[in-house]
Structure 1
């Protein structure tokens, strides 16, 4: 199955975050014009043994100043600081570029072949811009911390290696399957069966609980950042389409052959003791305390999990919006009015969303008729779930009402959510039921 990974990087205040380790260098760009012979000196770090590989090159490896099996000639980055590459060439002598997997604000993800380990890996090549480089160094610290505690590597993507190549931080990961978002997109946004949603939700919450136990907050949970371990899938009848024309095969939908998943993208992950005043999370999965400027902590991850579960069982994002007032209006439409004690504490930037400081300025503050329609068409949460779920709807609704509580103090934490009847009442021992 074709996979793409488009990862957003929401932070604009990464300069506030301290750098965690000294910068190391591999193959830095030489002064223009570049010299004919570009030395290749490995200064990366192999995770696990901390050693530095000792490459030895035969005398005939270099020909007219260019390594036959090593790095390509130096070339400038594009105007946005992205690394410019060609499929088939090498990224250091160790990695051969096979394809481009995705691109985001942070940089690019390339599928590469590891000549040393003889395996396919994914390499995240970060843009050569300081704030993204600094965020990448923090991500490396987080990944190594997670790997030390994630025995068996079942919860989070595993880091294989990292190095600094021509002013680009490169992070080498195990190769996984498509994201849940990409799977939904390739499947025409058809929802997952409730038993699969249960299994996926359980794994996400176990991963979140694991991170929170390590005093880490992911802050950017979304279907794009949850990857299936395998790309294999099966076709099953889609009973919602059986009565329609079957010429295009629409009565079938795809389901992953394995429900195993892992979290990715820890470039936004924050330690408990760090500054929690800036805006976090991708818009659709952003908690109300973030929008209101009340500060945030572990509960912001659980709000995101609630939004993800709704999306998996409905096929569509719960809050499809790009503007704060409309977002808050959607929340009130689905979940009821915001608590007054949160409204009166909103920061100055959020005060404009309320009339006389207490009531949401809606619909008077709507920017367009389309915005009004987008809010009006949303049903209450119980009705929304019952439109898509047959059995287990009551348990799922109760779980979501706990994950989507406005007040973060009252919101379920990850361990509490895992003990909810939605996961314990009818637990399958042998995977999800089709």
Structure 2
């Protein structure tokens, strides 16, 4: 019989213990707080040594083969304080067991099964589960017949831990830590993941081109926060650093947040992802509109929204900052609470009334400064989301503070009707719709546009619409676009003042467009608008 060698095998699993946290939800009572649940553990295998000896056995064919006989010791006890999957209690010691005879391959298979079972302990399968990467599994032992050399101990697993995710790998197969990204560079969200040794993820709140936003619990303060996790792509990382710089500057200038721009609480780099931590708020205004079947907001709510938005943008402009991407998706409600009222269906006398959600609070926050630009710094050629893009941007005439003003005008009209004012994806069609809404652009502005974009004009300064190649549907959509005084009929004093404000915000020529500072002085804001539905 061959000499016996001791082979210490260190299966090391990382265990994170977090108690469920039941905190108030900043999004308001209408959003159910996440109940305290047992944390799903990412464990390392229990540490124990495996002793083996080399023996010979006769197989079923009568041939003599060398095999490895392995004997191991039981795993240490586990405490319910750190285990939620049926572990041993502290006073209870499981009986000592010995395994009769196992080959090396069988031992490796059992170790792999142990890894799979421990990683599955904890809460029920989450709504979105990350696929198991091959590197997450315990590597099988190399299948060599001969025992190790005279150096009779060898550490065969080595752990590289990133936050709460652990990657076990052998010296032979390790290519670095387990990837936490998908193929597009987005961070893969796993419930109860620990980010930066502090924030425990709860759920995905949203995803965009820039990355993802998750709800998390700050384990230092037991408060819920939102974390914007930027994609691990260089151009998005670079843009996020600009956003961090802007947010820090805004917080420095407005520490009490009287101007209602999102406040940055923390920022760090986690596994090549820039992370921005902010207060947890409610849903965006667009999502509320969508969930409300695009029913318009009551007029007294529109006035409150308009006042807050103009104040926020005026603050940015005073700091020489242009947001460049104002839209309902970038306006968050602080609270989602609402009550339901029944409203009659217009034009249908005998139709059953429809239910409509009415917000209990109109407090909002302006978010997403990833495209914000200081006036004296580089301006990219095209900014703003299509439906809220100012004409000077489309015509390539350069842009500045007035482009934010134009976006605000589009937003206020959308609040009034429930639908986006301009629904198009073509530049010339967009300009034609603008002329339908606001009337023909001024001669001065049209000539400047014709010099920059001659393909959009004819006869010097006349918009060249429709082009021969324009589709029938495109022509129909432009003809269906209504003038602004039809969209907002001046039926009473409230509408007349609101219409006048919107017309000044949507002026074609940016030099003639009202400033946000002057807009705040408009008589519309001195009106006492009664509550309505």
State the TM-score, normalized to the length of structure 1: 0.80
CA contact (8 A) 2:294 2:418 kept: yes
Aligned to 2:179: 75
Query: 1:303 and 1:78, CA in 2 relative to 1: closer, same or farther beyond 3 A?
Result: same
Aligned to 1:49: none
Aligned to 1:269: 372
CA distance in structure 1 between the partners assigned to 2:500 and 2:525 by the alignment: 12
CA distance in structure 2 between the partners assigned to 1:301 and 1:365 by the alignment: 33
Aligned to 2:415: 312
Tell me, yes or no, if structure 1 residue 408 matches structure 2 residue 502: no
Residue 204 of structure 1 aligns to a residue in which SS?
A: helix
Aligned to 1:396: 498
CA contact (8 A) 2:284 2:330 kept: yes
The structure with the larger Rg is 2
CA contact (8 A) 2:162 2:271 kept: no
Tell me, yes or no, if structure 1 residue 137 matches structure 2 residue 241: yes
Name stretches of at least 5 consecutive residues in structure 1 with no aligned partner: 4-31, 37-62
Residue 344 of structure 1 aligns to a residue in which SS?
A: helix
Range with greater deviation from structure 2 (394-403 or 351-360): 351-360
Range with greater deviation from structure 2 (210-219 or 364-373): 364-373
CA contact (8 A) 1:277 1:296 kept: no
Q: CA deviation at 1:64?
A: 7.3
CA distance in structure 2 between the partners assigned to 1:277 and 1:344 by the alignment: 23
Aligned to 1:167: 272
Tell me, yes or no, if structure 1 residue 253 matches structure 2 residue 361: no
CA distance in structure 2 between the partners assigned to 1:156 and 1:334 by the alignment: 31
Query: 1:240 and 1:202, CA in 2 relative to 1: closer, same or farther beyond 3 A?
Result: farther
Aligned to 2:189: 85
CA distance in structure 1 between the partners assigned to 2:193 and 2:311 by the alignment: 39
Query: 1:106 and 1:2, CA in 2 relative to 1: closer, same or farther beyond 3 A?
Result: farther
CA distance in structure 1 between the partners assigned to 2:280 and 2:350 by the alignment: 38
Per-residue Cα deviation, 1:134-188 (whole angstroms, up to 9, x for no partner)? 1100000111111112242241111110111111111011001111101000000
CA distance in structure 1 between the partners assigned to 2:195 and 2:427 by the alignment: 42
CA distance in structure 2 between the partners assigned to 1:277 and 1:365 by the alignment: 32
Residue 332 of structure 2 aligns to a residue in which SS?
A: strand
Per-residue Cα deviation, 1:83-141 (whole angstroms, up to 9, x for no partner)? 12212222222111111111111111111111112111111111111111111000001
Tell me, yes or no, if structure 1 residue 176 matches structure 2 residue 281: yes
CA distance in structure 1 between the partners assigned to 2:344 and 2:308 by the alignment: 27
Q: CA deviation at 1:66?
A: 6.7
Residue 268 of structure 2 aligns to a residue in which SS?
A: strand
Name stretches of at least 5 consecutive residues in structure 2 with no aligned partner: 1-29, 33-133, 139-156, 168-177
Tell me, yes or no, if structure 1 residue 65 matches structure 2 residue 169: no
Tell me, yes or no, if structure 1 residue 426 matches structure 2 residue 531: no
**CA RMSD, Structure 1 to Structure 2 (Å):** 2.6
Per-residue Cα deviation, 1:26-50 (whole angstroms, up to 9, x for no partner)? xxxxxx98999xxxxxxxxxxxxxx
CA contact (8 A) 1:277 1:293 kept: no
CA distance in structure 1 between the partners assigned to 2:469 and 2:416 by the alignment: 29
Query: 1:402 and 1:72, CA in 2 relative to 1: closer, same or farther beyond 3 A?
Result: farther
Q: Across the two proteins, how many residue pairs are aligned to each other? A: 373
Tell me, yes or no, if structure 1 residue 344 matches structure 2 residue 486: no
Aligned to 2:254: 150
Larger RCO (CA under 8 A, 6+ residues apart):
1
State the TM-score, normalized to the length of structure 2: 0.66
CA contact (8 A) 1:221 1:305 kept: yes
Aligned to 2:299: 194
Aligned to 2:392: 289
CA contact (8 A) 2:345 2:351 kept: no
